[in-house]
A and B are shown apart, each in its own frame.
Chain A
Amino acid sequence: MSLIIGGFSSIMNLPCLLLIIAGTAIGIIFGAIPGLTGTMAISLCLSMTFGMTSIQAFSMLCGLYIGGISGGLISAILLKIPGTPSSIATTFDGAPMAAKGQAGKALGAGLLYSFLGGLVSIIILMFLAPAIASVAIKFGPQEYFAVGVFSLTMLSVMAGKNPVKGVASCVLGLFFAMVGCAPIDNALRYTFGWNKLTGGFALLPCMIGLFAVSELLVSARDGLDDLHSAEVKSYTLRGFGVSISEFVSNAFNFIRSTIIGIGIGILPGIGGGTANVIAYSVAQAQSKQPEKFGTGCVDGIVASESSNNASVGGAMVPLLTLGIPGDTVTALLLAAMLVHGLNPGPLLFIKNPGEVYSIFAILFVAHFAMLAIQYVGMKGFVRLLKIPRHILLPVVILLCAVGAYGNNNRIFDIGCTIFFGFIGYLLIKYEFGLSPFILGFILCSTIETNLRNGLAFSKGDLSSFITRPISGVFLGVAVCVVIWTIIKNIRRKRLATRQDSAK
């Protein structure tokens, strides 16, 4: 308890509070404008945090995370375009409500349940993360290797439409992380005599390229629509739009969606983008009036918005306790932690408990900031929806280039950003998915180092990876997931063949 109080007291100063407010506001803007995401906001603001203390830096970055997730509901309801993947399901009922003249009610409900879902998940994170960290502290190399393999398997086979492409994307990520000095013996790999590659590709330029530059290339390919032509629905915001009877009747829906959000957030690589759609589907399936969903019913907004913000707390659990990012935003937060000298993992709770509990406190306060900023500044955010993306994107790219350069003061890193941007573009174009590549890139060192250390500890005995209970369970589950995916695909193909022959 004293650690929690300590965390709150360390952020209760003007610079931190201002950074939380600024971060949340910028995050909301990026979340609200279709085509820009919270991930991109963190990419470009990361460079501004280099000169800050770690707590100040995370005040801004966590604010961006919360704002980025929540901001998507504005465009989902008023433009019928989800600002971020986390708000896809909000569009299903938010847009019909806006069409019926209930945009204010939809925005109010979305705001309220984003706030509540996020807040509950942060409270759970505060108590769950230290407990998991106390278990993870006993992990040896075998366990770390198994958790790494489990995370990669889960993400690769479940992230995209085609598991083969998902796994290939992950393997490509692993390969690019191997360039440079190998762990343990420092043997040079794939540098081709180029000294600049000796240190390998830095994480930050790689991430910025994959998220921001690839988006620029996709926009260049598809061309940018003029958002001025999109009709923004008018609204009047009174209270939170939800009556007491609606609040009571949605209590179970809220709890269930929040649990789904936290659970999905904990699973590696599957964040708010999946959580909101699953929570919405479950709410519809369990509803007494499923036919109302999609016609402008508050229950749908409750499910979508509470689950996407709840995934924030969930995604932070594997990041802080094991150093494994739960989604793309937490992958960037991992990079930020490394830049600020924090090594995520169970030891973080022992070495830097002050910083960990400060992050919890920042996430908690950022939810209040998000609620207040969106409620008060809604009109301003709606106006910002009209800023043309062909002006915003080049500015974002320039800031990202500065961020990549500022990491090590090397122009080479800006080159890497463009290179990875092009790789990201190809991965998106050919439907490989970015998330498996990123997780492969991040986890390569963990998996390889722990495999080699594990073999060294067990004197070359591979069976120790299976006989140790925790690593055995994780590897077993990973194998089961692969088998289940293969069976599922075979069944799907058979069904498709039957349907074709029936035609």
Chain B
Amino acid sequence: MSKLKKDKIIGLFLIAFGAFILYFSTGIKMINGASYGVGSAFFPRICGVFLILLGAALSVGDIVKNKKSIETGTAAPVEDCSKMCLASLIRMSVTIVTLVLFVALLRTVGFLICAIFMQFVLMVTLAPEQKRTRKNILGYLIISICTALIIDLLFVKVFDLILPAGILKGVF
């Protein structure tokens, strides 16, 4: 997708988000006598209106630019979404899923295991391809275990922070 088309979609998203803010501002309870004419719904409404106006400006500006660039034959090239994009998408997806799993499992599984899992997966995911040999992966696992243990001990024993122990409760 070209940058220009992206801006149009972003503009439409801002308009939709502004409308969402405005719609749900109607449910904010007004407390009489709390202020002069400006209640708790006033500021969200201002934000909603601003977002709609800004979204419209972005979309309209984008349409005008697009029209001009087509007329002058200087339309922005369409991005090449081939192997590069797929690799990037896989890295992004694995990173997001890992982070979400870290939060979701933290209470039940515990900090230590979640920390080792998160660090190891992220290190392997972010590493350049030539750094994903069996030896390197073993190194990442050792680093993940060591750093998780150090951070856990440092924060629990030195800084008195209570981190979720999960299934290892009583072991450490």
Contacts and interface: CB of A to CB of B under 8 A. Distances in A.
B122 A394 contact: yes
Contact of B55 (A168, A190, A220, A221): A168
B72 to A, nearest CB: 5
A213 interface: yes
A220 B91 contact: yes
Given A165-B58, A402-B161, A391 B140 contact: yes
State the main secondary structure of chain B at its contact with A: helix
Interface in B22-62: 24-25, 28-31, 34-41, 43-44, 47, 50-51, 54-55, 57-58, 61
Interface string A423-464: 000000010000000000000100010011001100110000
A168 B88 contact: no
Interface-central residue, A165, A224, A389, A394, by most chain B CB under 10 Å: A394
Given A418-B99, A422-B96, A455-B37, A226 B126 contact: no
B44 A226 contact: no
A171 interface: yes
Given A213-B99, A391-B143, A185 B40 contact: yes
A216 B125 CA distance: 11
Interface string A177-221: 010001011011110000000000000000000000100110111
Interface residues of A, number: 63
A187 B31 contact: yes
Contact of A223 (B38, B91, B103): B91
Contact of A175 (B21, B31, B58, B147): B21
A164 B58 contact: yes
A246 interface: no
B118 interface: yes
A360 to B, nearest CB: 27
Given A224-B128, A405-B163, A409-B162, A391 B37 contact: no
A398 B147 contact: yes
A285 interface: no
A219 to B, nearest CB: 6
A47 B152 CA distance: 13
Contact of A394 (B38, B72, B88, B123): B123
Contact of B36 (A165, A172, A460): A460
A174 interface: yes
Contacts of A389: 126
Interface string B83-105: 00001100110111001101100
B162 A402 contact: no
A411 interface: yes
B47 A185 contact: no
B88 A221 contact: yes
Given A388-B131, A402-B161, A418 B122 contact: no
Contacts of A415: 103
Contacts of A216: 95, 122
B107 A411 contact: yes
A366 B54 CA distance: 43
A185 B161 contact: no
A493 to B, nearest CB: 9
A221 B87 CA distance: 8
Contacts of A167: 50, 54
Contact of B126 (A394, A444, A451): A394
B44 A455 contact: no
A431 to B, nearest CB: 9
15 contacts: A50-B161, A172-B17, A178-B43, A187-B31, A220-B92, A390-B131, A391-B143, A394-B119, A394-B122, A395-B119, A397-B122, A406-B159, A448-B43, A451-B43, A456-B35
Interface of A: 47-48, 50-51, 164-165, 167-168, 171-172, 174-175, 178, 182, 184-185, 187-190, 213, 216-217, 219-226, 388-391, 393-395, 397-399, 401-402, 405-406, 409, 411, 414-415, 418, 421-422, 430, 444, 448, 451-452, 455-456, 459-460, 497, 500
